[in-house]
Each structure stands twice: as C-alpha cells, then as structure tokens.
A and B are shown apart, each in its own frame.
Chain A
C-alpha cells in the first residue's frame, strides 16, 4: 500500500522583523513549512486575520495555498480550530497535522496559541520540533517520530500518533528555499471565520516601548587571581588541568572509577 500524503495545515502569523519593525515572515513558521515538505505532506497555510502582503512571502517558501479567516480577530483559537475541523480545507479528507512556529513575532508572542489550538482540537502537541519523520511509512494512521530540540544541542525523541500539533524550533534545519515566482503566483483565499464580535480590548495589560534592562551578571566573572603555574613540567601541567576540569564537572570521571 502506498503511503498516503499527510494533509498538513501550517499556522501563519503576520510577523514583524525584530530589528526594523517591518512586516516579515517568522523564521520558525518558515521552518514549519520546510518540515511539512520534509514529511512529504500536502500543506495549506492558515492565517487568522485579513490577507496581508507578508503572507505572500510564506508562499514563496513553498505554500501554494493560503487561507485567511476573515473576522477571526475576536477569537482566533476557536476560528482556527473550527476551520481545521470543518473539513473544508482539503478535498481529500481531514487534516492530519497542524504545524506552527513555537512563538510568533509581532503579536503577544506568548507561544500559547499552538497549545490552545491543540487543547481545543483535543489533539496532542509536541513542542520544539527540530526534525520529524514518519514512523510508519505505510498505513492510514500517521505516526511520527520527532526530534525535540533541547538546550546545549541535546535532543529527545518522541513518538506521537496523529492527528497532532507540532510547534517548530528555531534550530530545525529544514529551511526551504525562497522562490520569488511562487510568492507571486500564490493564491490568498479568504474564508469567513464565523465568529461574531469585535476583537477584545487588551484588558489590564498596558503596553509601552521596550526598555532594555541589564541581566543579572552570573557569578562567573572572577576578576583575576586565578591559579597560575609558571613553567611546570608538562606532566604536572596536564594533571593540574585534568583535576581542574574534573572539579568544574565538565570532564567525566575516568572510566575505571
């Protein structure tokens, strides 16, 4: 039996560039598109909001079809979940996979939306995905084997049975090439979100220009006065270095002990 292509939805946000403040695609969402392509999935972009020009840039990274949910501003989570479950996105069948960046760039940037969408859909979510592949190449129920990125280059493998939500990490290597012609040829479809009501006013949270504050200085910077060995025998120097590294805990203890 041939493996059926996964049907993936990539959640897109209208991001801004952190330096210039101009509209720009978000790096993790570009990687989400690349991950969908790496999985051999048919991908549709889904944006809760009006069709804005920056969405065309995502199309240049390999999304032929982008759906914008008009009027989703009041409750984007409900709008996205409804659109995903409606079955109106793919003609062939239901959605197997929802891909998102781990954190948007330009809105509240809380990284909470993929979790809220997963909770609303009742699907499992795996965060910080660095790479993914299908664990069962053939079969109707897609099971994915996922590499989760962790600090200091560590990785954790997780298996999740579909349908599921994945949020993609910045270190994912699957960055697709940008094709200008694709960006021009992309179709931005608009669908009514079916949510009535106006966007909620930001309640309680006041907003102002970011003020850069110093971080706590780690107890590292020992001014001076480290131990100095002047012209030791090479063997003594090697022993001193090994003992020092062991005391710091960066060098594992010898195999015998």
Chain B
C-alpha cells in the first residue's frame, strides 16, 4: 500500500456523464467527485480555459488577454456605470484668457478648438477663466463652446466685412475685459485680425506659437532655422496642429456681457466682399478639398472627366496615367507629383503604390474603387468598392445626372 487514496476511474467517469443518449457524453469541466473543486490529490483544481476566457478583452479581431490585472475583464464583467455629465463652473476667476476664434460658418473649427485647448493651459495655471469672444448672431455657438473648454462666452459685433472695424471692436472688448492673455488662431483671417489688434494697441505679438505651456511659449524665427523662447506674452497666435484641443469635462460657457463703449462705424476704407470658393475644375491640386483620381483601371478619360465634373471635384491621376499622356502632369498625385491636403480622395482604379500613398499625406477620407481586394488603397480607404472602375463610373455619372434632374 502506498497510502494514497485509491481512485476508481470508471466511477469518476460515470459521475460526469450527462444525458442518456445512445452514445454516452461526459462533461469533463465538471469537477470530479461532486462540486467541491478539490481534486483527488487534495489540491484545488484549476480550469485554465475558464481562466483565459475571464481574462479575454472583448472587441478586436485577435484575442487579447488582460494579464496582470485582477482579471475578470471578460464578458462576465458588469458594465461600468454610465459617466455622469458634469459641468465645471468657474465663479471667481483670478484672471481672464480671451480666445478670438475664426468661426468659419459660425462654428468652431479644428484650429479654434486647439486655441481653446491652449487657452485652457494658460488659464488653469493661473486659475483663470477662458473667455471666447465670438460674433453675435451665431446661435450654434452656445452649446458648442462649453465642451470645447470655454468658461465664458462674450458676444460682440464681428459681422462687419470691414476688417478695420472688426479689429476696433475686438480692441474695445479687450480693453473692457483686460485679460491676461489673448489667443488667436494663426490662420489667414485670425493672423490678420491679431496683427491689426497688435498694431492698434501697440502690444507685442508672438505669432505662430508652436509650443505653449504656462511658463513658456516657443515660436520659429529666422526662416524657421532658429526659435524664440519667452514667457507667454499677452497677444499670441497659435500655429495649427501644435496644441491638443481641450478634452476634459465640459465647462460652463456662461454668457458674459461686455460693457465696451460702442465702436463708431469706421470710415469704411476697406470694403471686402464675401468669400468666393475656387473653381474645383481648375484649382491648384495641392489645396483642393476634394480630389478624384484616375489610375490604371481607368481607360475612358472622357467618362472620368464627366464624373469629376458631376462630383464638383478636382481631377487627379496616378503616375502611370500621366506617363501615358492621358492626364496632364500637373494632375499627378504622389511623391513625384503633388502632395494633397484634401478632405476626401476618391481613387478609381488605383492600387496604391507607396509612392502614390505618400501623396495622400494629410487626406482625411479615402474612397477606393478597385478590382483587387488586397490593394494598399483598399486598406487605406474608409469605403472600398471591389469592382471595375469602368463599370462603376457610368453608374455614378448617371446617378448624379438623375439627381440634378
């Protein structure tokens, strides 16, 4: 006798039998010898498969295990309670940081949000409040500014088409608010306004700031070969894509009345008209917002041009097509052609060579029509149609023509 408990494998197996069919079935996950979970050796039995299933993180194509934690992230975990929306109020700010956004179409754009994020950095360090100086008559703005990080919303009359009058209005509002910092976006309109305000008030202006913290601001100088570092000045313009937009909890965005003296209507020395969009058919490819390009999968270029005209887009092409002379060289997209700055790129019959994809630099949305499911362009695209471009283009042209009536 060895002293170990004697096992009866047949009895253990019979205990695990489930169902009474023609073929015996056994549930091997069930602990032998009842539900105690203690094996015949006296040690607790582990179930590695169940443990792994408990560590499995839901979502994703490949199984991913959350090791090192307490486990239990798997499907068995109870869902987290929904976050309670909280609005941060700033009742007694130590100072004000004013943001003068561009507000194209009366809404905050990407750079405006980044400027608000930068203002948040400066205001949080001094426990100040961020004031957004917006144009009156922009009703969408109210709900938008709080989540973007503004504590106050001051509305002044910025609707004039005279840039001098707008600058005078901003100067009057700033004189009434006496902020510690004023931030402008370094876009064309924002930079123009900032420089007018700086020249009018005689304050120094730090333009195109690339790094902004509470203690220092850095901007390039001397043709971008040197950089200037100083404490954040009162007036500055922020270069695009340098400071992250505000991502914290929503701020209040409370309306702030500005008791500025009314600005006398200017002499009207400058009369600017409304913005006129460029003709997409002839505009420069590098600044076109929507480019439709033809590759080797396109053979009928008259059809391609009619589709491009129907989409109100700018025509582009791959190198192969330009080499063949089917499209002008100026339309070439890619490393040896033009690098795009478009919002959307629609590629007909382009597989997506690396040199071509380099030309898509900052393109946000790609749509691909290609016969090859495994083409690089299909991997880059937000919508891919795996079909012959020569068959899709007539359908697209007809659909657009039917809409226009």
Contact = CB atoms under 8 A, between A and B. Distances in A.
Interface stretch (A50-58, A67-75, A237-245): A237-245
Given A107-B221, A156-B276, A205-B228, A227 B405 contact: no
B382 A244 contact: yes
Given A18-B223, A156-B273, A240-B385, A250 B369 contact: no
Interface size class of A (residues with CB under 8 A): 35 or more
Interface in A211-257: 211, 213, 215-216, 218, 220, 222, 224, 226-232, 234-235, 237-242, 244-245, 248-252, 254-256
B395 A238 contact: yes
A93 interface: no
B379 A224 contact: yes
B242 A215 contact: yes
A160 B269 contact: yes
Contacts of B404: 254-255
Contact of B385 (A18, A127, A159, A241): A241
B392 A238 contact: yes
Interface string B366-405: 1101000100001101111111000110111011100111
A249 to B, nearest CB: 8
A242 B382 contact: no
A206 B229 CA distance: 5
B312 A251 contact: yes
B14 interface: no
Contact of A228 (B273, B378, B392): B378
A255 to B, nearest CB: 5
A208 B218 CA distance: 10
Contacts of A149: 188
B384 A228 contact: yes
A224 B352 CA distance: 14
27 contacts: A107-B222, A109-B223, A110-B205, A119-B200, A125-B196, A126-B270, A128-B192, A156-B272, A159-B271, A160-B270, A160-B271, A164-B269, A205-B230, A210-B224, A213-B211, A215-B242, A220-B365, A227-B383, A228-B378, A232-B387, A234-B387, A234-B392, A235-B399, A238-B395, A239-B399, A242-B399, A248-B343
Given A116-B199, A207-B221, A222-B382, 6 more contacts: A16-B222, A17-B223, A18-B225, A158-B273, A210-B226, A227-B382
Interface of A: 15-18, 21, 105-112, 115-116, 118-119, 124-128, 148-161, 164, 171, 204-211, 213, 215-216, 218, 220, 222, 224, 226-232, 234-235, 237-242, 244-245, 248-252, 254-256
